[in-house]
Amino acid sequence: MVRSLPILQERSSTLEPAPFAKGPCERALDELWPTARARVWTLRYWRESLHLWRRFRLRPLSLGQLRIAVPSGQVPDCDACTEVCCTGENAVVSLRFRDMARLLDAGLEAHIVMVCASAPQDRPKHSWARREAEASVFGRSFPVLARDATGTCALLTTERSCGAWPHWPLSCARYPFALDLQRKVIFWARGCGSPTVLAPGEAAPRVRALALAVVEAYNERLRDAVLLAVARPELEALGLWRFLREPPPRGP
């Protein structure tokens, strides 16, 4: 059964290097992954393995598996953005372990916060994507980026730029490209109304970077599921466990 979990095999060759030198926490997270992956093959963690198989579709993505349905050459024109994607009811950024590690390494720990899910009566005004995210184990357990009283990301500077760049979260790096997993399609998220169309030669690297960010964000989510199940001591030692709102299923 466990050998049906291909996320446990290293398949990260489709991802490009981060645009900055990794800090100590992120490097330690990278070093932890092979250990966590190996644990799922052992008898000691059979309960966690069974839980992972039952709850998650642990199949990593590669860019070659996906179709990009974004209009040819279309990319976000962030400099001319009129609505600012960092604010609003649905501009809640759930953080991955890698996001937390990067923010810690960048000295931005104060922007990692734990908030309660919205009350049921508030859900109708939220997007389906946010409602679905909040209902998942990641939405219930993982922290988010801090926001101010207006619902605006606390990392947004007065110049309307990201105060965490280039250490910003994976969800921000791929926006407004989004994933329809069932159809294996990358599409343009409705929340962004500031597109621009570039010439083919100029557009190709930007489109590829956004599409790769979609793949990376999804695969990190799968890794997080494994880490939650089998690597609690190491996550505590790295200072990442303290940011979680709920513990994973209890181990042996």
Residue range 119-152, pLDDT digits in tens: 444 444 544 454 445 446 677 889 999 999 888 9
Domain coordinates of the chain in residue numbers?
2-7+21-238
Across the strands, what pairs with 156? 162
Q: Identify the band that residue 19 occupies on the pLDDT scale cut at 50, 70 and 90.
A: low
Across the strands, what pairs with 67? 185
Q: Once rounded to an integer, what is the mean pLDDT over residues 173-184?
A: 94
First to last CA, the chain: 19
Q: Which of 73-77, 135-139, 157-161, 189-193 has the lowest mean pLDDT?
A: 135-139
pLDDT of residue 187: 97
- Which value, to the nearest 10 degrees, does the dihedral of the CA atoms of residues 124, 160, 179, 240 take? -90
Could you tell me the strand order of the sheet in which 67-68 lies? 67-68, 185-188, 177-180
Model pTM greater than 0.75?
A: yes
For the record, the structure tokens of 126 come out as 């939220």
Residue keyed to tokens 């500031």: 194
pLDDT of residue 247: 54
Q: How far apart are CA 153 and CA 243, in angstroms?
A: 18
pLDDT of residue 138: 76
Which residue did the predictor score with more confidence, 54 or 117? 54
Q: How far apart are CA 54 and CA 75, in angstroms?
A: 37
For residue 142, the 8-state DSSP code is S
Mean pLDDT score of the chain, rounded to an integer? 83
pLDDT of residue 13: 38
pLDDT of residue 231: 94
pLDDT of residue 136: 63
Q: Identify the band that residue 41 occupies on the pLDDT scale cut at 50, 70 and 90.
A: confident
